[in-house]
Amino acid sequence: MTLVNETSALLSKLGVSAAALSAGDLAVSSPVTGETIATVAQVSAATAANAIDEAHAAFLEWRKVPAPRRGELVRLLGEELRAHKDELGRLVSIEVGKIPSEGLGEVQEMIDICDFAVGLSRQLYGLTIATERPGHRMMETWHPLGVVGVISAFNFPVAVWSWNAALALVCGDSVVWKPSEKTPLTALACEAIFARAVKRFGDDAPHGLLKVLVGGADVGEALVDHPRVPLVSATGSTRMGRAVGPRLAGRFARAVLELGGNNAGIVCPSADLDMALRAIAFGAMGTAGQRCTTMRRLFVHESVYDQIVPRLKKAYESVTVGNPLEGKALIGPLIDKAAFDGMQKALEEAKAAGGSVTGGVRVDAGHAEAFYVRPAIVEMPSQTGPVMEETFAPILYVMKYSDFDAVIAEHNAVGAGLSSSIFTRDIQEAERFLSAEGSDCGIANVNIGTSGAEIGGAFGGEKETGGGRESGSDAWKAYMRRATNTVNYSKALPLAQGVSFDI
């Protein structure tokens, strides 16, 4: 079966009509072969505004549905995702080039967040707070917020939507989603899967709870600027966040910004080197280096440098790069030519800064428009030049260190602050890394890599990563508004702070 036919068959199984695949002028290509697999319709700014108005009308109804009942819709969404895991996972592999276990893993993450959100629908707790006034009760209540805008990146084309949507829905919000223009097909598939869940749920799910807006940055801007969208959760590059953040601030809307990472690992003298090797290999090469949490920098203590770096280089030279759909390769393609060019440019800059490059060359997979590349490991004399920035490709910069305090400072010296890890069996090093004086990232790990987070924890990073948190823990609070309520059940009217105002 050709890729075009397979894509169309998968989408039809998921509930997307064949007509939608040739309905417009946005060409969707698969990075696996570089061929165009669909041309879908994009929305105009005016259509986007109408969709947001519809989602707002849906919100006005949905907020009245009790939260545990809202959880039932998300439970059904989880069931639909379980039933269609294979098809959706395969579609992720076709549209993004992920290897099968990662395509399926992304759908599993969607199922996991649905399970989490169902439980959460009975746990949207507020506090009861001691009041200084006799005969009074003070408490906080969490209310639905409104339309939640979701802007997502190409590399997690479905999971990021679900992290936001599952929470937003149980919190009583409606969702308007602007997926990456590189991955609209998986978004259309999610829309169809969600529609099935709504159908099974029944009449108290208002029409317009989820709207999908296919289009580019201009459509994203329409979402960002719309006054009826009190929260936008935007995932993508720091460049995108710099554009979106101030616009949202300008109208006092909330932003959950999930931006670029420049994540590092530190290998200490006591590290279990076999374990570190495996964790670094997955963290740095997995998903062809196209995860926000991909390990991009590695600091290795001088005493173990010669024991681990040559082994890492060997792994880089031998790892299988190739067509992810055939199930043998561990490294699939880059998303497009621009990603390949960006990688080559960074490698040139690294060489100019004294780096010694292993790998990084294009791998011929028999498709002129598909960009497969051997991951690159670059030994650098110091942290300089392209090491300071995220290049969204499989490049690992390796640097030697001798002093623990100095390496923590180096670790924290870049703009991004998403994920970090340390490999050590020295409890003092591990605890210092996790302490206030240690890693400055939103995610800090010990003896595991930088990538592969679970949904139970809050996900996100500091500094140029944007500061947003989504997924688990108390990330749900961003999707609700908090009201502090004070009730006077006495017959007097005592004022706080002893103020008297007798008229």
Active site residues: 258
H or E element that contains 154: none
Q: Which of 244, 267, 380, 441 binds ligand NAD (CB under 6 A)?
A: 244
CB–CB of 289/392 below 8 Å? yes
CB of 461 to ligand NAD, least distance (A): 6
Q: Label the pairing between strands 136-144 and 128-129.
A: antiparallel
Distance of closest approach, residue 238 Cβ to ligand NAD, in angstroms: 6
Asked if residue 49 binds ligand NAD (CB under 6 A), the reply is no
151 sits near ligand NAD (criterion: CB under 6 A): yes
| Interface residue with ligand NAD, options 392, 401, 404, 479 (CB under 6 A) | 392
Residue closer to ligand NAD (CB basis): 168 or 430: 168
| The one-letter amino acid at 434 | L
Of 118, 167, 197, 259, the one binding ligand NAD (CB under 6 A) is 259
Residue nearer to ligand NAD on the CB measure, 114 or 224: 224
Coil, strand or helix at 379: strand
Compute how many residues bind ligand NAD; rule: CB under 6 A: 29
Q: How far is the CB of 183 from ligand NAD (least distance, A)?
A: 8
Among 14, 292, 475, 480, binds ligand NAD (CB under 6 A): 292
The dihedral of CA 490, 496, 498, 501: what is its sign? Answer: negative
Cβ–Cβ under 8 Å, residues 95 and 187: no
Candidate ranges 18-26, 145-153, 307-315, 400-408; the one touching ligand NAD (CB under 6 A) = 145-153
Q: Is 395 in the site for ligand NAD (CB under 6 A)?
A: no
Q: What angle do CA 301, 307, 311 make, to 5 degrees?
A: 115
Q: Per-residue DSSP letters for 298-350?
A: EEEETTTHHHHHHHHHHHHHHS-BS-GGGS--SB--BSSHHHHHHHHHHHHHH
Q: Which of 30, 155, 174, 323 binds ligand NAD (CB under 6 A)?
A: 155
Check residue 263 for interaction with ligand NAD (CB under 6 A): no
Give residue 412's identity as a one-letter amino acid code: N
Residues of this chain, 450-469, that bind ligand NAD according to CB under 6 A: 465
Nearer to ligand NAD, 72 or 181 (CB): 181
Of 180-219, which residues contact ligand NAD (CB under 6 A)?
180-181, 216-217
From 18-26, 35-43, 174-182, 406-414, span contacting ligand NAD (CB under 6 A): 174-182
| Position 333 contacts ligand NAD (CB under 6 A) | no
- Sign of the four-CA dihedral 148, 154, 157, 160: negative
**Contact of 199 with 125, CB cutoff 8 Å:** no
DSSP E strands, 340-471: 356-358, 362-363, 372-373, 376-379, 395-401, 416-417, 419-423, 443-446, 458-459, 462-463, 470-471
With contacts defined by CB under 6 A, name the span among 232-240, 272-280, 345-353, 393-401 that binds ligand NAD: 232-240
Distance in Å, CB of 178 to ligand NAD, minimum? 6
> Mask: binding to ligand NAD, 415-454, rule CB under 6 A, as x and -?
---x------------------------------------
Q: Is 153 in the site for ligand NAD (CB under 6 A)?
A: yes
Site for ligand NAD in 334-363 (CB under 6 A): none
Listed residue (261, 265, 226, 264) closest to 241, CA to CA: 261
The number of C-alpha atoms within 13 Å of 10 and in the hemisphere containing its C-beta is 26
CB 334 within 8 A of CB 370: no
224 binds ligand NAD (CB under 6 A): yes
From 100, 260, 332, 386, residue interacting with ligand NAD (rule: CB under 6 A): 260
- Asked whether 55 and 153 are in contact (CB, 8 A), the reply is no
Q: From CA 294, how far away is CA 470, in angstroms rounded?
A: 18
Residue in 7, 235, 323, 471 binding ligand NAD, rule: CB under 6 A: 235
Among 80, 87, 102, 390, binds ligand NAD (CB under 6 A): 390
Element (H, E) at 178: strand 174-178
| Binds ligand NAD (CB under 6 A): choice among 78, 103, 144, 220 | 220
The helix (run of H) or strand (run of E) holding residue 240 is helix 238-250
Q: CB 244 → ligand NAD: shortest distance, Å? A: 5
User: By CB neighbour count within 10 A (0-12 exposed, 13-18 middle, 19+ buried), where does 62 fall?
Assistant: buried
Binding site for ligand NAD (CB under 6 A): 151-156, 178, 180-181, 216-217, 220-221, 224, 235-237, 240, 243-244, 258-261, 292, 390, 392, 418, 465
